[in-house]
Each structure stands twice: as structure tokens, then as C-alpha cells.
A and B are shown apart, each in its own frame.
Chain A
């Protein structure tokens, strides 16, 4: 402890000064956090209010749009499930997503392992090539891929998306998996090989199980990418029963000039909330995957 003599009056003044500064910075932080949350979630919050409104309430421009001027109703949410193909869209998105995730893992996990652990001289350039593929956008490819889809006879079928979507998910998943693999110490496989496993055996029996947390993150990430994709789904698939959520909702729930506004907003909120919740749970893992992938090694 300091033995210097401090003028008590000055000490009180300083303490008050710091307390005020602390209070000020906390207030600024909370204000900024609340504002950010409001701006980001506002459209969905407003969508949730809209989804539960009666037509008479919604379509009166003099009503306050942020409150219920008439009693709330679930009619339009029910309508979404009973009178539109929304449930079909969700089902299509789910099974396309799960299949694409399975294909992605089957191809990306071995590829990432080969690139990080097997010490090939071409691993570096190959990793960069994969990164470039990730940045090739659907906008550049959808026209030629639409010919490929026609050539394989998959036009207007959801299966065309199962064929094409791994182009979006494999590169980014490989990139993330490289990060997760770099975080695993090499001793693990070396020990397994000393114990008599082959190189391949060491990979399947020790590395794959340890990679599980990373794989969970990849599943969610890849699924979100699939659910968000718009251009391919719009270009390749037009029958209503084959559409996925991201194209079905904006094209089928808007008929010409007739908008089913409440049902549209209900669909948005019902899809947005679960995905964001899952993402929030896994955010720390994505961050560690991206940073590890970026480290030279």
C-alpha cells in the first residue's frame, strides 16, 4: 500500500470524478446496446405485431401501426399453415438442408484433414484455391448451372438444389474445419499410431470424434447458408410444391398485387427466430474456427 499522504478532500473529489465518468460510460454503453438491438430486430418485432393484427386494424392508415387497435388474432398464422404451401416449403428446406449438410461433411472433413495434417507441398495453394471458390458467387454461375440442371433432367425439382448447394457449403466448411483441426494437437494421432492404428485409423477413431464440436457448428452454418440461398432456387425451381422457404414465401404469398401481409410477416418471424437462437449458441465456435483457419501453419 502506498504510504504517501493524500489530501482527503482531494481523494473524495477524485473518487467522485471517477464515479461520474464510470456512470456516464455505462449509460452510453446501455443506450448504444438497446439502440443496436432495436434497429437490428425492429423489422422482425414489427413483423410479429403485424402478423397478429386483424385486417380492419392493419389496413387503416390512421391507426397507430405499433399497437393493437383491435384485439389480436391468430387467424393469419393459422392461414399460413392451412391455406398456403408454407409447410411444404419448410419441409423442402429441411430435407434439402439436411442432405446438403451430409454431403458437405462427407466431402469437407476428409479434404480439410488432407490439407492440414498430411504435409503435402500443395496443401497451401489448394487451401487458397478453395477459399477463392467460396467467393465465386451464384450470380456468376446460375446461368450455366441452369443449363447443367436442364441437362441432368432435374429442372423444376428440389433435387437440383441438392446437387448444386454443396458448391456454396463445401468451400466455407472446409475453411472452417481447417481452423478446428489446427486447434487439435498432432500428438493425438501420433499417440494412436504408436498404439498400432494406421494413419487412416487414427483419423477415423481419434480425430473425427474430437472434431465433433466443430462439426456441430458446421452443420448449423451450412444449413443456414442453404436456407438463405435465393438465386439458384429462383432460377431452377418454379412449381409451387417444389419450392423452398426463401423463394416460396416471397413468390407464393405475394400474388400479383395481393399481399398476405400478416402471413408473410408470420413466416419471416417463425423462420428467423430459431435460426438466430441456434447461431447465438454456437457463435463462439464459429469465431474460433475462423481465427484458427486464418493462422498460418
Chain B
């Protein structure tokens, strides 16, 4: 390492470059200012909009109290969207945990062609949601769906299923896409946990003759619980707040049966131009998000295996 100083020891500039208190603020401030201006202020604004009559055509701010909330409560579509948001999130979270765990176990195992499998498995997570949803839109096509074709040729169905045309099937279709795109992410997070278990713990259990299933439920799952929780909560947050899947697959249809809070907020707020009401709808996402964030943080703090 060079021994020459960059500036004379006593110069004021050099003193500044050595003062940690000053440096800490100077280095952090740009990021903090940006986040305050473009996240914190807009968040406050979003709350304020929920109590206003702001529209795209008339952006002047007038306080209207709880009128937006009264209006969205009268609308059955809002209640449907609220219910769907919870159902979609709960069902996909359960599936994401189970399938993510299975996939994580596959990914940590040693086998030939692992690189290729890992690449193929990552595709759903790394591809932009909008594009992978378009791929699914084609799989769900009302006439040319290959799933239909297989079932027809197996003699299981006579005609077309119309995946996105019937409320229950459309709901299942949306959930399937969420699960498909989030399982790889959950698996990678759970994989981190599995890699963190000291090998001697596993080996000790093996030497003691403990079988695969008992090892899994009595050793690895308890040890990696915090990361399983993190994976589940991330899966939940991404399902909860996403609107691309619903928007591209069904636009909330048929007859709003797959509408969720985020897509409904978008349709009311941007396409309908009623920003006040859209903001009021989106606000309902906040309490649950906050709870999930606190839970993630608590789980993360328990990760001390590493």
C-alpha cells in the first residue's frame, strides 16, 4: 500500500475528510433526501388524496372528509376486490411455502445438469411479470389453450374450459400464475437457510440413522424457520401488491370476479381519473403491509445461523 498522503495533514479539507460524523451525513444525505422527496412526501400525499376530491381533470385540492370512503364502501366491487386480495394472498402463500420448500431441497442437492435446471427454474422469477403473464395468457387461450388440448385428448373434457371466462377458473388461473412466478424466489431464500446449516448437524443426524423425513421435520425445518418465514412473507407481499397479473390476464373480469385492490385502484384512479377515490382504495393495502414488514424484520433478526 502506498504511504503517500493525499493531502497535507493539517489542511481544512483533509480534516473534513477525516471527520466521521460529517462524512456519515454527507454520504447518507443524498439517498435520504431523494427517498423523502419521492417516497415519503408522495406517501403523505397519497393519504391526503384519499380525503380529497382530486381528479385527473381537476387537480385542485379540496378536503372532502370521509366521502371517498363512504362511496367505495357502497360499491360491491370494492368488497369483492378486498376479499379477493386476501384470498389470493392466503392461498398463494400456502402453496408458495410448500412448493418453495420442495424446490429449495432440489436446488441444494447435487446432481448432473444442475446448472441448466437452476437456469430454467429461475426464469419465472427473473422475467418481467408482464411478459411472463403474456405467456400464460396464451396458455389460457379460450380456443387454442394447450392445456385444453391435452385434457381433450385424454378424454377428460368435451369442449373448451374457458379458463379466464368463468369466475372460479379465472380465480384459480390468477393464483396459479402468482404461485408459479414466486416459488423460485421463495426457494432461493429457503436455499440460503439450508446452506447455512452447519454440515456436522446434518452428518450427526445421518450417523445416528435418522431418516430423510425425520431429518427434514426435526432438524432442517426448525433450524431454517426464520428464512421460511421471510420467504413466505415476501411471497405474500408480492402477491398482495401486484396488479400486473390480474390486469393482463383478466382486467379484473369476468364481471369483476378477479378484481383485487391494486387493479381496482388503478382502474378507478388512473383509467377513471378519480384520484381521490383510487387513493382511498389503495390505502387499504397499508395496514397489512406494515404488519408483514414488521414480521419480516423480526424473522430476519432471528437468523443467526450464519
Report which A residues bind B (CB closer than 8 A). 25-26, 29-30, 32-34, 36-37, 39-41, 43-44, 46-47, 50, 58-59, 61, 64-66, 106-108, 110-111, 113-115, 118-120, 123, 126, 128, 130-133, 135-148, 150, 163-164, 166-167, 170-171, 174, 191-192, 195-201, 224, 227-228, 230-231, 234-235, 245-247, 249-250, 261, 264-265, 267-268, 271-273, 275-277, 279-280, 283, 286-287, 290-292, 294-296
Contact = CB atoms under 8 A, between A and B. Distances in A.
Majority secondary structure of chain B interface residues (helix, strand, loop or mixed): helix
B39 A133 contact: yes
A123 B146 CA distance: 54
B20 A199 contact: yes
Q: How large is the interface on B (under 10, 10 to 19, 20 to 34, 35 or more residues)?
A: 35 or more
A197 B242 CA distance: 48
Contact of A268 (B32, B135, B265): B135
Contact of B192 (A110, A118, A290): A290
B184 interface: yes
Given A141-B42, A197-B5, A50 B138 contact: yes
A287 B192 contact: yes
A59 B131 contact: no
Given A58-B144, A171-B35, A197-B6, A120 B21 contact: yes
Given A32-B106, A110-B30, A280 B35 contact: no
A145 B42 contact: yes
A276 B135 contact: no
A198 B6 contact: yes
A36 B121 contact: yes
Interface of B: 1-7, 14, 17-21, 23-28, 30-32, 34-35, 38-39, 42-43, 45-46, 49, 54, 59, 102-103, 106, 109, 111, 113-124, 126-136, 138-139, 143-144, 146, 149, 180, 183-184, 188-189, 191-192, 195-196, 212, 237, 241-244, 247-248, 261-262, 265-266, 269-270, 275, 278-279, 282-283, 285-286, 289, 292-293, 296-297, 300-301, 303-304, 306
A294 B298 CA distance: 11
Contact of B119 (A34, A118, A276): A276
A211 B102 CA distance: 34
8 contacts: A29-B106, A33-B114, A46-B146, A141-B42, A195-B1, A230-B247, A250-B131, A280-B122
A115 B134 CA distance: 41
A39 B184 CA distance: 11
B28 A264 contact: no
Contacts of B106: 29, 32-33, 36
